[in-house]
């Protein structure tokens, strides 16, 4: 899967357009953090996959560290990122092997757009908040008209409802609060016609 991951998702014409929009939005989120007066020099990306955001982070003066449960995905990142000295750590997102407050920012992208049980999400959010000095960035899907349409199509035509987490603003706000994270701002990386959000959370000490 690691060998074909990028080709299927980010290297088609549509994938390239969406990926550019996404990376632009992510850069905007980092700018908001800096405009708030916070330093953004170190960042943990978990799960980092094939290093999709590494080049963008490096170009913005951010030192990334990648973590993923898949060793093969991280190996694939070595083949496409210009800086081969980015630290990579194999681990589970519910048990991150770093000390408290090790990074300025911790990101969790794509992973939570799929189905992750509530009890596992709680552990992930707590671990992200623990190892971050100030901020977390989380990608998730939200309730929208497009979500309802896709649910109807999947159920009526394919006979199987999608197993995906969809959040309202209040739901994601509550889950983050339980992990000691304040919902600071919501961004829409793909515009109004997408059901994905980038959530910027601030650590509550």
Domains in the chain and their CATH numbers?
20-43+87-203 (3.40.50.150)
Closest among 139, 59, 47 to 94, alpha carbons compared: 47
Question: Contacts for 113-118 with beta carbons within 8 Å, 24 or more apart?
Answer: 113/139, 113/140, 113/141, 113/164, 113/165, 113/196, 114/163, 114/164, 114/165, 115/163, 115/164, 115/165, 116/165, 118/175
Whole-number Å distance between alpha carbons of 29 and 26: 5
Check residue 16 and give its pLDDT.
Answer: 76
Average pLDDT, stretch 31-49? 96
Average pLDDT, the chain: 87
pLDDT tens figures, 20-37: 888 999 999 999 999 999
Percent of the chain with pLDDT over 90: 61
Of 60-69, 168-177, 192-201, the range with the lowest mean pLDDT is: 192-201
Mean pLDDT of 182-201: 88
In the predicted structure, residue 157 carries a pLDDT above the cut 90? no
Confidence of residue 47 (pLDDT cuts 50, 70, 90): very high
pLDDT digits (tens, 9 = 90+) for 62-97: 999 999 999 998 988 888 777 778 999 999 999 999
In 10 A of CB 201, how many CB atoms? 26
- Return the pLDDT at 156: 66
Count CA atoms closer than 13 A to 127's CA, side-chain side. 21
Question: So what's the pLDDT on residue 6?
Answer: 61
pLDDT at 79: 80
Query: Is pLDDT at 2 greater than 60 in this prediction?
Result: no
Q: Give me 134's structure tokens.
A: 């100030």
pLDDT above 80 (res 108):
yes
pTM higher than 0.85 for the full model? yes
């Amino acid at each position: 899967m690691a060998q074909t991951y990028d080709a299927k998702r980010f290297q088609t014409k549509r994938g390239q357009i969406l990926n550019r929009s996404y990376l632009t939005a992510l850069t905007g989120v980092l700018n908001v953090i800096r405009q708030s007066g916070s330093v953004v020099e170190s960042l943990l990306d978990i799960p980092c996959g094939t290093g999709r955001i590494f080049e963008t982070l490096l170009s913005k003066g951010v030192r990334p560290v990648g973590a993923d449960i898949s060793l093969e995905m991280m190996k694939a990142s070595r083949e496409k990122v210009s800086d081969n000295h980015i630290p990579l750590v194999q681990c589970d997102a519910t048990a991150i092997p770093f000390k408290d407050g090790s990074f300025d920012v911790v990101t969790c992208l794509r992973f939570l757009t799929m189905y992750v049980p509530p009890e596992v999400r709680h552990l992930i959010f707590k671990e992200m908040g623990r190892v971050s000095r100030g901020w977390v960035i989380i990608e998730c899907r939200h309730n929208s008209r497009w979500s309802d349409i896709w649910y109807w199509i999947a159920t009526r035509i394919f006979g199987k409802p999608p197993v995906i987490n969809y959040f309202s603003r209040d739901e994601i706000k509550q889950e983050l609060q339980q992990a000691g994270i304040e919902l600071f701002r919501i961004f829409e990386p793909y515009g109004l016609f997408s059901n994905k959000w980038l959530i910027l959370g601030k650590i509550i000490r």
